[in-house]
Structure 1
Amino acid sequence: MEKFSNIYERACARKGSEQVLMSLINSPVTAADLMLIEDDLWLEEFTRKVFQSGFYWSVINAKWHGFREVFWDFEINKLLMMSPEVLEQKSADERIVRNYKKVQTIPDNCYMIHEIQQSHGSFSHFIAQWPTDNIIGLWDYLKKHGARLGGNTGPFALRAMGKDTFLLSRDVEAYLRAHEIIEGGLQSKKSLGAAQAFFNTLVNESDWSLQALSQLVAFSIGDNQVPE
């Protein structure tokens, strides 16, 4: 397995310099800042990522004001009271992308967040305290207890909200396969465990976040080299 220093040196060369590389890498928010996020915002971001999956993100973003109007700014306490009849009416509203199966994820993920609130005080507190050396465990939790949060959807939502996580982007996957860290299905238990172990090793070598390391690996391979 490559050491952090080797990956770093290659990424610097591909991007043209250490300065350029570091300008492209960013960090997650702190656990303390995560705990300050309103739980309604988690439901909103989960919904955004569910709808962005399979759609042009620009289309969803252009309609997002309409989504917030239709679904009461994703206020969990209000949505918990929503009847199936009201949900069906809202799913046909022209202000949103009318996809009933995806609209159904809103109450489902709302209930997931509410259950966590009952046991942990807040969903943000639950997320903030989850150990990053087992971030795939959090991915699995969202997949099992949430709606349509498997694959890259849950991890992308976590990244968007600031939770430290690596992402299995095309470039990261290409790296992991080229170095025989994973084989077979990307989302298999074996592949996810191997990816987590690889990033945990890099964390120990560098003291970087999973997010920064994920970006570094992506910048060290693939079609992203800075032109001469």
Structure 2
Amino acid sequence: MNYEPFEDIYNRACQRKGGRASLELLLTQPLTNEQLATIADDRFLAQFTKSIFQSGFVWRVIHSKWPAFEEVFWEFNIEKLLMMPADMLERKSQDERIVRNFTKVKTVPANAQMMRNVQLEHGSFAQFIADWPEENIIGLWLYLKKNGQRLGGNTGPYALRQIGKDTFILSQDVESYLRAHNIIEGGLYTKRSLEATQRAFNHWREESGRSLTELSRLIAFGVGENLVST
């Protein structure tokens, strides 16, 4: 596969975002593996839950209600959540301080159980995430989709990105680039497409020394309607 050189990707993003200095200000760095490993596991569950509720909903509403979510779900204490009886979960799903969506509320204890299973094997969920190799980040996506609830599609990847794990995101702009350059065809989340996307990002990562997070944003900045005035 002949991939577009990273320099071309970067220069196009520079042109659309007002130059190198302005572009670099828009880029964010993921946390190091050492930093990830120190995050409390409840923060991962909180971020998974936040991303699940934001999916298909107005993000600012979830953001404004988030302190109430933390209170209602005991700051996402995994042990407490796993001991919660079903009738209490139903009552919490009707709490007017949060978004009352029982289908999404049920993911809280379900994903807490997924994380507990990981803890028993790896010591902590944070360490499990930190140790997962970025060159197979799609494998982590698929793990969360298979073993968690409502963490498929972009929900799991967005949650990982928000908490600091290095990952690319299959946004509309990134998808548009991948299709225009014949890197993928067919379904976006098929095994074939995901593997082809991972290979492409691994190539640019090795070529540029940039993180998957930076590469994903640089590609997105180079396409779509996200121009800025210079």
TM-score, with normalisation over the residues of structure 2?
0.98
Of residues 98, 122, 125 in structure 2, which corresponds to 1:123? 125
Aligned to 2:9: 7
Aligned to 2:211: 209
Measure how far apart 1:14 and its partner are.
Answer: 1.3
Aligned to 1:161: 163
Q: Any unmatched runs of 5+ in structure 1?
A: none
Measure how far apart 1:13 and its partner are.
Answer: 1.2
Q: For 2:53, what is the secondary structure of its paired residue? A: helix
Aligned to 1:189: 191
Q: How many residues align?
A: 228
Supply the distance in 1 between the matched residues of 2:209 and 2:198 (Cα, whole angstroms).
15
* Runs of 4+ off more than 2 Å: none
Q: For 1:183, what is the secondary structure of its paired residue? A: coil
Give yes or no for the alignment of 1:30 onto 2:32. yes
Measure how far apart 1:217 and its partner are.
Answer: 0.5
- The letter of the residue matching 2:222 is S
Aligned to 1:64: 66
Supply the distance in 2 between the matched residues of 1:134 and 1:218 (Cα, whole angstroms).
21
Measure how far apart 1:64 and its partner are.
Answer: 0.9
Deviation per CA, 1:149-184: give whole Å up to 9, x if none.
Answer: 000000000000000000001111110011111111
Aligned to 1:137: 139
Q: For 1:63, what is the secondary structure of its paired residue? A: helix
Supply the distance in 1 between the matched residues of 2:152 and 2:44 (Cα, whole angstroms).
16
Q: For 1:204, what is the secondary structure of its paired residue? A: helix
- The letter of the residue matching 1:17 is G
**CA RMSD between the two structures:** 0.7
- The letter of the residue matching 2:65 is K
Supply the distance in 1 between the matched residues of 2:15 and 2:105 (Cα, whole angstroms).
45
Aligned to 2:85: 83
Supply the distance in 2 between the matched residues of 1:91 and 1:15 (Cα, whole angstroms).
43
Q: For 2:83, what is the secondary structure of its paired residue? A: coil
Measure how far apart 1:103 and its partner are.
Answer: 0.4
Aligned to 1:171: 173
Deviation per CA, 1:67-99: give whole Å up to 9, x if none.
Answer: 111111111111111011111111111111100
Aligned to 1:98: 100
Give yes or no for the alignment of 1:218 onto 2:220. yes
Q: Any unmatched runs of 5+ in structure 2?
A: none
- The letter of the residue matching 2:49 is T
Supply the distance in 2 between the matched residues of 1:33 and 1:116 (Cα, whole angstroms).
19
Deviation per CA, 1:120-158: give whole Å up to 9, x if none.
Answer: 000000000000000000000000000000000000000
Supply the distance in 2 between the matched residues of 1:159 and 1:41 (Cα, whole angstroms).
13
Measure how far apart 1:43 and its partner are.
Answer: 0.6
TM-score, with normalisation over the residues of structure 1?
0.98
Supply the distance in 1 between the matched residues of 2:17 and 2:113 (Cα, whole angstroms).
44
Q: Choose 14-23 or 99-108, whichever is displaced more.
A: 14-23
Measure how far apart 1:16 and its partner are.
Answer: 2.0
- The letter of the residue matching 1:224 is N
- The letter of the residue matching 1:99 is N
